[in-house]
Every structure is written in structure tokens, then in C-alpha cells.
Structure 1
């Protein structure tokens, strides 16, 4: 299977970088969403995950068009970016401190652009059911999660373990999807998330030493922010290698 794990999905998303740093009051935002608009990302998802499920069935997803994105037996699935740089209003002061930490504050911009490009590869993307109040939306709007992937995965682990979490209602609404993978190990192995968990799958490795499910669990200073960025890039790199190995075994 031909999968380029270095392909940057911002490059085939309409005008993504045009005026990027003029948006969101200088925090930066793309003119388009690769999770919706990149045809390469859509194709990669629909081919990589079209394989046998842990429950014994075939995950016979189909690439679709427009907002439907990917279909599976009448259900709609969409792409979601795993990583975040916390470039939002609640973290504006932190982002300004990060920028000021550079010898030349202007160097922040190419540095952040490199982070965005490296994480908009297939290793930084996953699929979830797509509809109002689905995982893609709720993990960004529930303040105890705030788009943190480690907290998101911990909520998924707790679903399989029958434990409560801030995302439990959201996950239960799409139990048909999560039950395809039987258990947490099945989910992790299917989507090649092994580098996020302990060797026995009993624990999610947190990327920051913060209180679990605290309100606004953002990095508290520049050092923590840089640590978050490093952990994000390390994970995406490792997952890209796993994806490359999987693709080499697929027809």
C-alpha cells in the first residue's frame, strides 16, 4: 500500500496557509480544515483502516464525498487531529510567553509552522464517528479534556473498563463504534496507539504531569509547553513508523 507518512495534509487543503498568522488575533489559524478538505488524508484513512476488526468483522469503510467523509454501514466517520498546540484564547498569554522565549521572537512562527506540518501527517490523525456532539467536537469543548489526546485516550480506556470519565456520555452515544474493537487493547492495537500506553495496556501515559481531568489542563509555563510539543512530535513520529510498517504488509 502506498502511504507517504511524511505527506503534509495542509499542502492539499485549499489555501490553508494564506494569511495564517492574521487569524485569531495573531494566534494563527488555517483557511481550511485538512480533516475535511485534504483528499490525501481521506484516502489514507479509507485504505489504512479498511481491515479486519478485533471482533472478527471487516471494517469495510468507504471513502465518501463532502461532509460525509467516510461511511461505514450507514454511519458517518470523520478525521480528527490528535495533537494540539493550544493556540486558543485561553492560552494566549502562554503562547506569548513561548514566543518571547525565543532569542528572536520572530523565530516562533517558522517553528510553530514546522510543528503544524509535522503533526498534519497521517500519524497525527485518527477517525471517530461524525455527528453533532461527537468525540471530535466534545473533546475540544469539555474543559477537563481541552483537546488533550492523553486525556481523551484515558476516557476511552475508562469506557472499556466500565469507569466514569468526562467523555463517558459522548463515548456511550457511539458505543457501536468502540465496541467494534472489543476492548481497550483491541482499540489501541487497531489504531497503532501502543506508544501512548503501558506495555500491559493498563495505563495511559500522560504527556504532562497535571491533575487528571482538572479544569483547563493546559501547560502552566514555557517549559511544560515545550515538553508537550516534544511529546506530541515524538508520538507522531513513532506512530508514523508503525503506520509505515502496517502499510508495507497490506496489499
Structure 2
């Protein structure tokens, strides 16, 4: 039975020129539909979008969680440090890349409530110079979190440890959020968008060829995740 997710939907189309993470009612509804499902222990992770001030809310014996939307796909088109590279890519190619990154498969949810006034996962991903909003690097940090190993996001992930416990382990997290196309078959490694040389290596593409490789791998991932969303229906 279809659950009503249009994986070609442009989440900017109903955001009225604002950030769709906060202002697209369709994206919010899609998140509610997609992630309201049983956790690995069988508890239903029901999400509500009816509590004033909260994007999505869950409360059960597993705890209380307020979630917000976050984009997985970034073109870096307007990042100043990327300007010299971006100008060498045709506008039509950048537009196509942005269009694919504006579909439901390019979005996920993370805990939204600040703890002790410190940054959320959403904010930390963008602010950390070793991550720069790259979701493949974020997922590697999450993988290391489940192994109790350090990463550039260790502190923020530990603050939200109760959220990650919901999924039991890394494979549980990956399966719940339909991220299988970004990990190896044995779940032990990440399919990085660019060759991974450690977190001390600059995360942004270093030249046009690297940018095009990043773009192609991002598009392949978002397209594959949209297919998984369709199959989940």
C-alpha cells in the first residue's frame, strides 16, 4: 500500500523561498510518515507534528525526543571557498545537482533540542571544519560512535546518545533511516563521496575533478535512497 511519498517532489516548492528544513510542510509530513515505524526492539517510533513549537515529537517508554529536519545533500554552490571550482561547472549541471538534492531522499532527522545550551548535531555538522556538512563524514562519525571511538563529532553525538541507543547499533541506525547504499555489505565501512584520507584531510573537493566525483556519488546515493523510500511504501 502506498504511503504517499513522492520522491520527485521539490521540497523548496512549498517552502515559500525559505529553508525547507523548517518551512516545507510536505517535507515535514514526509518525515512523519517515513520515520513513524517500529524501532529494532519493536517499539513504535510514532512521531507527532501537532505539538506547538516542535517540528516532530515522540514520547514513549523509550524516551521523549524532539526532532528536526536536516539536508544530506549539499552542492556547495554558494560556499566562498568553493567559488574557484564552482565557476568551472556549467550552471545547468549545478541546477540538476541541486534539483536532485531537493528531493525527499536528501533529507533526514536529528534531535533538535539543545542540551546545556550546546550545539545540536545539525549545527555541529556544518560548523565543524573537518565535516563541512558532508553526510558521508557524518555517518562515519556515527559509525565510530557506536564503536565508542573518537571522531570530530564525538562530543555532540555523546550528548545525544539516548537517541542513538534507540537503534541498538550502527546497522540498526542505517536500516532505520534507509542509508544502506552508503555503507559496505558487511556494514564495517562507509562508501565515501571522496577518497577518505582521515579527518585531518580537508573535506571540501580540492579541484573540479574531485567536485564532479563528489557530485556523481552524492547523486547516486540520493537516487538510491529515493528508490528505497519508494520500496518502503
Relative to the length of structure 1, the TM-score reads 0.84
In structure 2, the residue matched to 1:59 is 45
SS of residue paired to 1:245 = helix
Q: Could you say what the CA RMSD is over the residues aligned between the two structures, in angstroms?
A: 1.5
Q: How does 1:75-90 map to 2 (within 5 A)?
A: 75-86=65-76, 87-90=78-81
Q: Displacement, 1:215? A: 5.1
CA distance in structure 2 between the partners assigned to 1:128 and 1:209 by the alignment = 26
In structure 1, the residue matched to 2:82 is 91
Q: Displacement, 1:152? A: 0.3
CA distance in structure 2 between the partners assigned to 1:182 and 1:75 by the alignment = 16
In structure 2, the residue matched to 1:171 is 157
Q: Displacement, 1:113? A: 2.2
Give the direction of change, closer, same or farther, for the CA distance of 1:183–1:210 in structure 2 (3 Å limit): closer
SS of residue paired to 1:181 = coil
In structure 1, the residue matched to 2:11 is 9
Q: Deviations over 1:95-118 (max 9, x none)?
A: 22x23xxxxxxxx33332222121
Q: Displacement, 1:93? A: 2.1
Question: Is residue 30 of structure 2 the alignment partner of residue 48 of structure 1?
Answer: no
CA distance in structure 2 between the partners assigned to 1:158 and 1:210 by the alignment = 15
Q: Displacement, 1:211? A: 1.9
SS of residue paired to 1:62 = coil
In structure 2, the residue matched to 1:246 is 232
Q: Deviations over 1:144-173 (max 9, x none)?
A: 111111110000000111111010111111
In structure 2, the residue matched to 1:112 is 94
Q: Which moved more, 1:55-64 or 1:190-199?
A: 55-64
Q: Which ranges in structure 1 are unaligned for 5 or more consecutive residues?
A: 17-31, 100-107
In structure 2, the residue matched to 1:150 is 136
Relative to the length of structure 2, the TM-score reads 0.91
Q: Displacement, 1:137? A: 0.6
Q: Displacement, 1:232? A: 0.6
Residue of structure 1 aligned with 2:222, choices 207, 232, 236:
236
Q: Which ranges in structure 2 are unaligned for 5 or more consecutive residues?
A: none
Instruction: Say which structure is richer in helix.
Output: 1
Residue of structure 2 aligned with 1:131, choices 113, 116, 128:
113
Q: Displacement, 1:2? A: 1.0
Q: How does 1:206-221 map to 2 (within 5 A)?
A: 206-214=192-200, 216-221=202-207
CA distance in structure 2 between the partners assigned to 1:183 and 1:174 by the alignment = 14
Q: Displacement, 1:216? A: 3.2
